[in-house]
Amino acid sequence: MTTPQFPLQDQLCGFSRALFSTWLYHRRFNILFDAGEGVASTLYNRVFGIRRVFLSHGHADHIAGLVNLINIRNLGAGDQTAPLKIFYPQNNKLIEYVVDYLSRTQKDLSFGLEWIPLDADQEIVLDDQKSRIFMRTFRTRHSQRQLSLGYNIIEIRRRLKEQYQGLPQREINEMIWSKGKDEVAQEFEKIIFSYGGDSRPIVPEYIKDTLFLCHECTYLSVDDDERNFQQHSFLDEVLETAKKARVETLLLFHTSLRYNLDMLREKIDSAVARINPGCRILVLYGDSIIDTACSLSWKKKLKRERIREKKLEENSD
C-alpha cells in the first residue's frame, strides 16, 4: 500500500507544456498558480471556485488565460459576486499591461477584483480565522529584467521540544499537566506546498522539507538548451535540488514539446536511479498528472495521447 501524499492528486489539476500554457489549480485552497491559456475553457464553471491567483511571472504562456478567466467570472453561470485577488511580482510590465487592458475593457465587474503586487519574502494569510496557514513568496531565477516569484504555502504546526522527543506518552502528559504545553511543545513552520513557476533551479533552502514541490523541468538534458537562454531547469539539477531540500513529492512540469512520453519515462527512470532523489515523482504532462513509479499511470496517459493524435490527424484530412 502506498502512503497518501499531500496534496491528494484530486486536489490538483492543471495543464503544462513549455511555451504553450501553464496553470495549476489547487482546489483545497482555491488557488490558481499561473493562468496560461485554457484555464477557463478547461475548468468551465469551476472558475468560480478560484479565490486567489498567484502569478510567477509575466510571460504569455503563464498569463494568457487571465482575460478570459475574468470575463467568465463576470458573465458565466456561477457566483458572479465572489471576489478575486490576483497576486503578481511587482513592477512586472507585462502583467501591468494586462491589468491596464482589463481596466479599460471590463469597467463594470460584478465582483471585487484586486491586483496585489508582491516582492520576495512577503506573506499573505490564507486561513483568515486562525492565521495558521499562509503564503510566503520567494525569489526565483528566470528573466533577468523582471522579478519572478515562487510561492510556499506554510502551516504553523506544533511539535515536542527536542529534549522531550522519544519519551513515553504518559510522561509527556504528566509534563504538560505540571509545566504547561508551551514548555513541552513549540511551534514551527512547515512548508506544505511549493510552486516555483519558470526558473533555474530553486535555492534548496527556500523550499526545505516541503511536502510537495512543483518545479519546472523544461529540458531533460543540459545540451537541449541549445539557444543557451539559461532561464530554465533540466532534469538532473531539479532532482538534485529536490534531494538537497528533502522534498517529499516532486511534481515536474513545463516540459518542452520535443519530448514525448516514452522519452520522458526513460530519462526520468535513469536519472532517478543515478541521483536517487528520495522523493515520489509526478509529472504534469499536458492535462494529466502521471505517477512516474506506476506503469499503469504511464500506460493510461499514452493511450489518451494516441487517441488525441489520431483525432487531430483525422480532422486534418
Spatial CA neighbour of 135 closest among 114, 156, 116, 154: 154
Strand order of the β-sheet with 84-89 is 12-17, 21-26, 31-33, 52-54, 84-89, 113-118
CA dihedral of 191, 195, 199, 200, whole degrees rounded to 10: 40
Work out how close the CB of 18 gets to Zn ion at its nearest, in angstroms, rounded to a whole number: 8
Work out how close the CB of 217 gets to Zn ion at its nearest, in angstroms, rounded to a whole number: 14
Q: What is the CA radius of gyration of the chain?
A: 21
Residue 34 region by backbone torsions, left for phi larger than 0, else alpha for psi between -120 and 50, else beta = left
Interface with Zn ion: number of residues (CB under 5 A): 2
The nearer residue to Zn ion, 95 or 192, going by C-beta atoms, is 95
The nearer residue to Zn ion, 149 or 279, going by C-beta atoms, is 149
**Phi, psi (rounded to 5 degrees) for 154:** -120, 135
Spatial CA neighbour of 81 closest among 109, 50, 47, 120: 109
Residue 198 binds to Zn ion (criterion: CB under 5 A) = yes
The nearer residue to Zn ion, 36 or 277, going by C-beta atoms, is 36
Residue 215 binds to Zn ion (criterion: CB under 5 A) = no
Binding mask 34-73 for Zn ion (x = CB under 5 A): -------------------------x--------------
**Phi, psi (rounded to 5 degrees) for 51:** -110, -30
- How many Cα atoms sit within 13 Å of 239 on the Cβ side? 22
Binding mask 139-178 for Zn ion (x = CB under 5 A): ----------------------------------------
The nearer residue to Zn ion, 43 or 63, going by C-beta atoms, is 63
Work out how close the CB of 57 gets to Zn ion at its nearest, in angstroms, rounded to a whole number: 6
The nearer residue to Zn ion, 37 or 198, going by C-beta atoms, is 198
Work out how close the CB of 58 gets to Zn ion at its nearest, in angstroms, rounded to a whole number: 8
Work out how close the CB of 62 gets to Zn ion at its nearest, in angstroms, rounded to a whole number: 6
Residue type, 217: C
Binding site for Zn ion (CB under 5 A): 59, 198
